[in-house]
Amino acid sequence: MTLQTSDRKIALVTGGSRGLGRNTILQLAKRGVDSIFTYHTNEAEAQQVVQSVRDLGREAVALQLNTADTSSFDGFAQNVRQVLAELGAKRFDYLVNNAGTSHHNSIEQTTEEELDQLYNVHFKGVFFLTQKLLPLINDGGRIVNISSGLTRMSIPGSAAYASMKGAVEVLTRYLAKELGERRIAVNTVAPGAIATDFSGGMVRDNAELNQQIAGMTALGRAGLPDDVGPMIASLLSEDNRWVNAQRIEVSGGMLI
């Protein structure tokens, strides 16, 4: 049966070629949602995600984007319009601002260049990409901004990264307020320590660190992508239509 255009739901996920972004796209596909997603440099990896979505009977389109480069956002928005037209739609329904980079350094040793890079990716990029895409989001849609458990728990070496994520959490509340008249709900999802390739895969690949995290987590283990992707997909669904302007931590009860 051919899906009617009016019934089709489309998500746009930044940083969708790996980790939590990839898992979110696959979980959305299982719920009947098609995706447009961005990757930074690894096109082959992105195309593997496209194929995995197609294997689930849905559609996905990968677009290259450096989320730190705000000068490219007008062109990217135009590319999104073109892809939407190819999918038989004028707008998309869900935006997940997931793309990000890690950073580990003390306040004393963090350089201005490092801080600027984090700002460009984790706050400035999120702010202005969302701004550019607002005309393309359906009224009644959803936005999820990915933050971090590190905005609640203070772990030395994470100050610069966590500060940018804290700014995103404030932005989330303001977006929810300003977009309320369009019935667009905006929430923050804050993962705890998750075993992915983020930060060089240190939670996934360092057995000692993994066990340390398990010992400080109420549910007794480090997180997995399958702990987070389904939660994001659920938050975007109608089941959670009345959840708005919230920070939802997905950490298994880490450091409580």
> pLDDT tens, 190-249?
999 888 765 565 666 577 878 888 899 999 999 899 999 999 999 999 999 999 999 999
Q: What is the pLDDT of residues 64-91, one digit of tens each?
A: 999 999 999 999 999 999 999 999 999 9
Q: Which two tokens stand for residue 125?
A: 């990029």
Q: Is 102 a catalytic residue?
A: no
Q: Is 161 a catalytic residue?
A: yes
Catalytic residue from among 17, 35, 148, 158: 148
What pLDDT was estimated at residue 211?
A: 85
List domains and CATH numbers for the chain: 8-250 (3.40.50.720)
pTM above threshold 0.75: yes
Tell me the C-alpha distance between 13 and 6, whole Å.
Answer: 21
Q: Is 6 a catalytic residue?
A: no
Q: Quick one: what percent of the chain has pLDDT higher than 70? A: 94
Q: Is 154 a catalytic residue?
A: no
